[in-house]
Structure 1
């Protein structure tokens, strides 16, 4: 079963309902990149009339995590995944539709090959950039993922 945007959105509904209710949706995914979109609405706003930082973090993490899931599925091995660390930088008020993109899929394939070859866990950092409808960057988030054989 190939991992698609539609299947990931179903996964959100059943396994991450808070993200689904806040409007986080996967738009596209392939081996190297993932795009997730979320629109600023009443349900996901902060007191300053912009998108709450945690909603941005959910969308940004999903871009990276979906790519990890994609590569794990592609490997055919039982591999666990975990966020070990994260950091974020917010540069502009997030209003309107915000799109997060991660283009670090190539990092995961190498880490998974390494963990399969050595049996040791691997860690790697992935970046997700959030931009508004005008193309202005609103946030940048980095997630350190850990993968290891089960």
Structure 2
């Protein structure tokens, strides 16, 4: 199955409805990069008139998780995935359209190959950076993913 933006957004609707209702949408998915966008609106605001941190985290996690799904499908193996840890830093109020991008797709293939070869679980960190419409970084989030053969 070829992973596309349409399929990922349909997945959001059925499996992650809170992200879908908040406006999180996949804009681009490639082997090495994923882009997700979300617009600040009433449904995803905090009391300080900016985007709630959890909405930013949903969008950022999706950029990394979609890449993990992409590589798992490419491997043809049954592999489980789980966020083991995360870190975040917020540098500016998130208003307007925020675009998150992860370019760490290259990190996943090695971990998947290692877990297939050894049967042992593997972990790796991926970074997603959120920028506003002016190109200013509003948040950076790191997710530690764990993969292991089922």
State whether structure 2 residue 149 is matched by structure 1 residue 149.
yes
Q: Deviations over 1:32-68 (max 9, x none)?
A: 0000000000000000000000000000000000000
State whether structure 2 residue 20 is matched by structure 1 residue 5.
no
- The alpha carbon displacement at 1:6 in A equals 0.6
Q: Which runs of 4+ in 1 moved over 6 A?
A: none
Q: Deviations over 1:70-102 (max 9, x none)?
A: 000000000000000001000000000000000
Q: Deviations over 1:79-128 (max 9, x none)?
A: 00000000100000000000000000000001001111111100000000
SS in 2 for 1:125: strand
State whether structure 2 residue 26 is matched by structure 1 residue 45.
no
Counterparts of 2:40 and 2:78 in 1: how far apart (Å)? Answer: 37
SS in 1 for 2:82: strand
State whether structure 2 residue 100 is matched by structure 1 residue 97.
no
State whether structure 2 residue 15 is matched by structure 1 residue 22.
no
SS in 2 for 1:144: strand
Written as runs of structure 1 = structure 2, the 5 A alignment for 1:1-150 is: 1-150=1-150
Counterparts of 1:91 and 1:104 in 2: how far apart (Å)? Answer: 22
Counterparts of 2:105 and 2:4 in 1: how far apart (Å)? Answer: 15
- TM, length-normalised to structure 2: 1.00
Counterparts of 1:35 and 1:6 in 2: how far apart (Å)? Answer: 13
- Where does the alignment leave 5 or more consecutive residues of structure 2 unmatched? none
